[in-house]
Amino acid sequence: MKIIKKIQRNKLYLDNEEIMDVSPLIRQKYNLKVNDDIESLYDDVSYEASLEKGIFIISLKDRTKKELQTKLNEKYFNAKMVQKAVQKLEELGYINDLDYTISYINNRKYGKNRISYNLFQKGINRETIDKAYNIIEEEMEKNIEDRKLEKAILKHRKKLLVDDEEKDTSLEGKMKRLKEEQKVIQSLARQGFEIEKIFSKLKEFKESGFEE
């Protein structure tokens, strides 16, 4: 049995310790009242409540499929109906992991390694991440990772660029410049850029005098 012990502020308090968010429309549709046994209605009510709550959560902030399912599982005990609601929202286009990944990549300045790690945490798989990068690069006709790395390096150009007239050619001066370059490399690596690409791109910039 699943008995409604209390109804307060659009929440059903059930005897299985579940507190289920439901809208007035759902309450009216199923004529839900205190002391009702909703065992036979439990799946239907859970599904529709999860669906409505899912739309509300998405309206506040874009979510991945995994993030939405996690949020709904915090609200509802019926995991099967939560999963069904999430699948329905995906079918209707309310959630789209590929679109989310493309937007996430475009709106982050750091490198692919860090971006990929963050997306893995959000439930995005490697295939979707690679597909998103391919789509972006086809649209831009340029490697997005290279573009982001170039911008990141140019932010450090003052530390890396020294005019020949000002350049200290002593051993101490060379060591100081090398130390600054190492700091920049470490900073870029922490941002998720691959070490080999950092070295390669730095070499290009130094050879061109850091011209954009």
Strands (E), 17-152: 19-21
Length of the chain, please? Answer: 212
Give 44 or 162, the one with higher predicted confidence: 44
Does residue 25 surpass a pLDDT of 50? yes
Q: In this structure, are residues 60 and 71 in contact, taking their beta carbons and an 8 Å threshold?
A: no
Q: Does CATH place domain 4-91 in 1.10.10?
A: yes
Strands (E), the chain: 4-8, 11-14, 19-21
Give just the sign of the alpha carbon dihedral 181, 185, 186, 191: positive
Lowest model confidence (mean pLDDT) among 28-37, 84-93, 157-166, 191-200: 157-166
Domain ranges for the chain: 4-91, 97-141, 146-207
Tell me the C-alpha distance between 168 and 184, whole Å: 19
Does residue 130 surpass a pLDDT of 80? yes
pLDDT number for residue 165: 41
3-class secondary-structure state, position 49:
helix
Does residue 153 surpass a pLDDT of 70? yes
- Residue 29 — pLDDT band, cuts 50, 70, 90? very high
Structure tokens at 64: 């991945």
Q: Which residue in 125, 118, 112, 97 sits closest to 189, CA to CA?
A: 112
Does residue 86 surpass a pLDDT of 80? yes
Give 154 or 207, the one with higher predicted confidence: 154
Give 46 or 173, the one with higher predicted confidence: 46
